[in-house]
């Protein structure tokens, strides 16, 4: 592969090569960013390429304890397989390595595979990382990268990859800030809703249940003696019970006391067909009898006329 040839020689900050028996699995080593908690550390990891690479992003797994990313777990970055929507085919493995170095000093913010160790723990892990040796590729961190030199000049491809990595980190920070803004907006909206529910429940409790027409009719007229029990208002519930319930529960309880119980609604069944009246049946029978008699009379008349004509002809 072209990338394997470009990354064959190690640099002062990163190095990556595919395994001899698997071109889709790469092992890399990166140096911790200077002036940070990871300064002096060299970290080893794996990059697993999908068959559709470079159209789909790779998966990145750290193998050295560092205090920023979990060991042996796919980390969640905008250049990893967790976010295929932000991946661009123009990015390369070199871009991913420089982006990992740039992401290390940032906060985890609860992302998948991220850690938030203390600075003391990260410095201790940075010193301990020099003794790591990969059992798969046989790479040791003491000789994985070139030694730092004060007169080293960055390569042109390193400069381009660094600019892309800065864009990637900026996108990640923008997404984190937008998520934080959405969460804070949701919390403020929930707080305002709870305050509105409390105020509505307090106002309903102070007003009391509405007076129905039945209570108005049942109220005695002026001049009549009223029992003492009817004049005594109902005892309000204690403050301890009202405080133990949430505003939503108190509101549901008041609505349940005010509204009468509803009766279950049964589905309407179709009405059964009614039997025909006897009068219509009798009328049809009479009509049939009359038609039969009329037809019989016509037949007899026809026969009579035929016989009469025959008799006159013989005479």
What whole-number distance in Å separates Cα of residue 83 and Cα of residue 25? 19
Residues 6+ apart with CB under 8 A from 115: 67, 68, 69, 70, 108
Helix (H, G, I), strand (E, B) or coil at 300: helix
Phi and psi at 182, nearest 5°, equal: -65, -40
Go through the chain and tell me how many residues it has. 315
Bridge partner list, 133: 140
Helices 156-207 and 247-258, interaxial angle, to 10°?
40
CB 254 within 8 A of CB 205: yes
CB 115 within 8 A of CB 67: yes
Please, what is the Cα angle at 257 between 256 and 261, to 5 degrees?
65
What whole-number distance in Å separates Cα of residue 295 and Cα of residue 3? 112
Which one from 76, 134, 137, 139 is the annotated catalytic residue? 76
CB 133 within 8 A of CB 142: no
Bridge partner list, 16: 28
What whole-number distance in Å separates Cα of residue 99 and Cα of residue 106? 11
Burial class of residue 178 in the structure, from the number of CB atoms within 10 Å of its CB (0-12 exposed, 13-18 middle, 19+ buried): exposed
What whole-number distance in Å separates Cα of residue 59 and Cα of residue 61? 7
Please, what is the Cα angle at 172 between 169 and 177, to 5 degrees?
125
Bridge partner list, 62: 45, 71
76 flagged as catalytic: yes
Catalytic residues: 76
């Amino acid at each position: 592969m072209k990338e394997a040839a470009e990354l064959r020689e190690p640099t002062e900050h990163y190095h990556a090569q595919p395994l001899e028996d698997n071109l889709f699995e790469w092992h890399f080593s990166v140096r911790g960013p200077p002036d940070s908690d990871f300064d002096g550390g060299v970290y080893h990891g794996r990059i697993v390429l999908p068959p559709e690479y470079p159209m789909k992003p790779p998966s990145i797994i750290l193998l050295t304890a560092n205090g920023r990313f979990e060991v042996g777990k796919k980390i969640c970055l905008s250049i990893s397989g967790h976010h295929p929507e932000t991946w661009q085919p123009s990015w390369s493995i070199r871009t991913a390595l420089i982006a990992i170095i740039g992401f290390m000093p940032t906060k985890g913010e609860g992302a998948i595979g991220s850690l938030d160790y203390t600075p003391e723990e990260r410095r201790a892990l940075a010193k301990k990382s020099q003794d790591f040796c990969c059992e798969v590729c046989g790479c040791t961190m003491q000789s994985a990268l070139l030694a730092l030199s004060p007169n080293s000049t960055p390569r042109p491809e390193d400069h381009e990859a660094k600019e892309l990595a800065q864009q990637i980190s900026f996108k990640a920070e923008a997404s984190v800030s937008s998520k934080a803004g959405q969460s804070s907006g949701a919390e403020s909206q929930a707080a305002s809703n709870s305050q509105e529910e409390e105020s509505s429940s307090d106002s309903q409790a102070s007003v009391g249940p509405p007076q129905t027409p039945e209570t108005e009719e049942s109220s005695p007229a002026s001049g009549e003696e009223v029992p003492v029990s009817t004049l005594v208002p109902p005892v309000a519930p204690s403050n301890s019970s009202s405080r133990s319930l949430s505003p939503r529960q108190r509101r549901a309880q008041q609505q349940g006391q005010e509204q009468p119980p509803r009766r279950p609604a049964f589905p309407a069944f179709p009405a059964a067909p009614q039997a025909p009246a006897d009068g219509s049946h009798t009328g049809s029978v009479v009509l049939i009898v009359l038609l039969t008699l009329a037809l019989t009379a016509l037949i007899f008349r026809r026969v009579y006329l035929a016989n009469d004509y025959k008799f006159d002809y013989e005479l």
